[in-house]
Structure 1
Amino acid sequence: MNLNTHELMLRDRVISALNSSLSFPQVLEAARAPLLELAPSDSVALCLMRTTPVLDFKWLVPGHPIPLLEHYASVSDQDFVRAPIFARPNEVLLDEEMLPRREYEHSLLYQRSRELGLGLEHVMAVLLPIRPDFLGALALYRTRRRSFSSRCAAVLSSLNPHLVNAVRNCSDVQAMSTGAHLLDELHSGSGTAYLIVEPSSREVKRSRHATVLLERWFTPTDRHPSGLPLPLKERLDALIGMDADSRLEKNVWVSLQQESYRTVRFIELPADEGPRRWALLMNEIPMSIPLPVDMRCKLTDREADVAKYQLRNWSNEQIASELGISLLTVNKHTGRICNKLGVDSRADLIYQAARLNKPV
């Protein structure tokens, strides 16, 4: 969509805020003001949901509290937003697309919000698949009788990939950290490791197992004079030179070997000033990656078939031939798989499947 100069500035501020921290509350607080101005709203909230073994949720509300969400557990079964956004993930929906206005005003959530002194007259929401067992739902609210427009929905939609990336980074880092500081607490399992690099090639820190993986993965001729492997330095240099939108599908590097995938995920670390350091999360994954149960349950039978072959690194042409379907159909299934599983690309599918089978 065409944004004017002010809207582009606000969008850039939101994206910058989403990458300003690896803490959910800090990210939301930093993004709140420009987001509420970009898609004019009175408040914003993010719901983080685990789907297994049972649906569990946690609301994060930057700025002023939203009383209704503080009492959400008592009315969650009557939430008219949940079913529509679960049915159409990654699609921003307006309240008028969820149910008619008359039903909206008679809903328990609306009535309860008025009783609590903050009538939520309009809502705009989107479900963000982060991983098959982990979802986010972002909601913007208005307390005045002024409907959200389709333009507001389009503006928010343009931020979806950045929202997913921010939530995924925060979640992954928290999962790998058992203390207050990421760099001291990342675990060092037998197949995983990390490097911390200061652009463009100065290594700041590495985990104990990083040396083992680097020596196995790269020969001396693959090394830059700084010691950083050239393929990783080239990818890092490229990411640094990209805008935020272009980075999203390039932040996982994958090398296919005879018996394994070698993956490196690039995460830009927060910094108050000076150059932003990057964490390079390294993982060696067996070639035969089973489709995790949590992924399988999100897909149709045919989508699951396509995903299984993608995890074997078959080309789309090979998959089409094996399943007796057209290449166009494989491409359509691939788009639906990415949408349902919240992955950006085949590389990310491999990374997330490996993470579910054996957490990175």
Structure 2
Amino acid sequence: MNLNADELMLRDRAITALNSSLSLPQALEAVRPHLLELAQADSMALCLMEVTHSLHFQWLVPGHRIPILDEYAGLADHDFLRPPIFARPQTVIRDSELLSRKEYERTLIYQRSRELEPRMEHIMAVLLPIRPGSFGALALYRNRPRAYSGQNAAVLASLTAHLVNTVRNCSDVQDVTTSAHLLEELYRRPDTAFLVVEPPHHEVLRSPHAAVLLERWFTPSELHSSGLPLPLQERLDALVRMAPDARLDKNLWVSLYADGYRTVRFIELPAPEGPRQWALLMHEIPISIPLPAEMKRKLTPREVTIAACLLRNWTNEQIAGELELSLHTVKTHVRNLLAKLGVDGRADLFYQAARLNKPV
């Protein structure tokens, strides 16, 4: 490949543009004028593809919209360039290498582009492997009937490694950003509780709900000097010393209390380098089925209390003793609340409450 001074300067600008942003749409917009001038093309587009059981794709089009790409889902099976670029990743393929001019003009891609404008008189494309099962396909289009030359293809080929790095880096940053947003959302949810700990005793992160649960579950005398409760610290110390296979049935701590089960699952987080951290996921699992709000609205406060006791599978005698009521009063409340809720008995109450808590 022989480039003159102007072309070398354009190529350097294209490489700089590809590294100018960790947002893929912004990087493509920045490189577009330099790449189009270098390859003497009129437009460009990048197709991001995930190849699993089927092909999923997304087009990124810097600059002016290319109408035919809006219809690509219906044209994908007629894309004559896709099999060749998949057969030869990182190799620039030109339409003129595959088809004669008459054959090209008979393709559905070309015919449809004539109807939609602008015409795709010539196409040059290269497949960019990003990671296993994930690819980018960069396509350059000409609106005039002059075939791409070998020099045009060589210029694009000289930038392929930079294109791969840009797409991969931007994709990785997008994945990290999405994960960070998810973690932030989980961190603030009132029903999610977790700790992140770096053994042996350094606490990295504690969600607000985890702080609430720890205060409710453990007394100050049960806390390790690190602030982590002694039972959890002891379990973590033991897991760290174990081989991975030995941890399989020991990474869940469970404690039974009057109101339900308290569980903590210990998960070792991956770390390519540096110390491994552990996530401690905390949950409360009530023994009883919660009384649905729809049922609560139909009952008096006292009936709500007794209905909750029924859903804990307490007997009338247990309810009377707990609430300091006579057995006759409890029976009367039970009869009335079952009638108000329109259920046939205790078994039906359990069924209806479970159905309303988790609709089918």
Alpha-carbon shift at residue 284 of structure 1 (Å): 3.8
Question: For 2:272, which of 272, 283, 294 is the aligned residue?
Answer: 283
Alpha-carbon shift at residue 117 of structure 1 (Å): 2.1
CA distance in 1 between counterparts of 2:75 and 2:91 reads: 24
Alignment correspondent of 2:173: 173
Tell me if the contact between 1:41 and 1:140 (Cα under 8 Å) persists in the aligned partners: yes
Paired amino acid for 2:151: R
Larger RCO of the pair (alpha carbons < 8 Å, separation 6+)? 1
CA distance in 2 between counterparts of 1:86 and 1:13 reads: 28
User: Which consecutive residues of structure 1, in runs of 5 or more, have no partner in the other structure?
Assistant: 193-207, 210-258, 260-280, 286-360
Aligned length: 200
Tell me if the contact between 1:28 and 1:62 (Cα under 8 Å) persists in the aligned partners: yes
Query: Alignment partner of 2:44: what SS?
Result: strand
Alignment correspondent of 2:239: none
Tell me if the contact between 1:191 and 1:284 (Cα under 8 Å) persists in the aligned partners: no
CA distance in 2 between counterparts of 1:33 and 1:191 reads: 49
Paired amino acid for 2:272: N
Alpha-carbon shift at residue 98 of structure 1 (Å): 2.3
* Deviation string, structure 1 residues 63-82 (Cα, Å, up to 9, x no partner): 01111101111111111110
Query: Alignment partner of 1:148: what SS?
Result: coil
Alignment correspondent of 2:68: 68
Question: Given the alignment of the two structures, is residue 98 of structure 1 paired with residue 87 of structure 2, yes or no?
Answer: no
TM-score (normalizing by structure 1): 0.51
TM-score (normalizing by structure 2): 0.51
Query: Alignment partner of 1:165: what SS?
Result: helix
Q: 1:147 to 1:180 in 2, by over 3 A?
A: farther
CA distance in 2 between counterparts of 1:118 and 1:2 reads: 31
CA distance in 2 between counterparts of 1:36 and 1:191 reads: 51
* Deviation string, structure 1 residues 277-309 (Cα, Å, up to 9, x no partner): xxxx97149xxxxxxxxxxxxxxxxxxxxxxxx
- CA RMSD of superposed structures (Å): 3.2
CA distance in 1 between counterparts of 2:98 and 2:48 reads: 20
Tell me if the contact between 1:122 and 1:146 (Cα under 8 Å) persists in the aligned partners: yes
Alignment correspondent of 1:33: 33
Query: Alignment partner of 2:91: what SS?
Result: coil
Moved over 2 A (4+): 178-181, 189-192
What does 1:321-332 align with in structure 2 at a 5 Å threshold?
Answer: none
Query: Alignment partner of 1:44: what SS?
Result: strand
Tell me if the contact between 1:14 and 1:34 (Cα under 8 Å) persists in the aligned partners: yes
What does 1:238-317 align with in structure 2 at a 5 Å threshold?
Answer: 283-284=272-273
Alpha-carbon shift at residue 99 of structure 1 (Å): 2.0
Alpha-carbon shift at residue 100 of structure 1 (Å): 2.1
Paired amino acid for 2:85: I
Alignment correspondent of 1:84: 84
Query: Alignment partner of 2:125: what SS?
Result: strand
Alpha-carbon shift at residue 179 of structure 1 (Å): 7.4
Query: Alignment partner of 2:58: what SS?
Result: strand
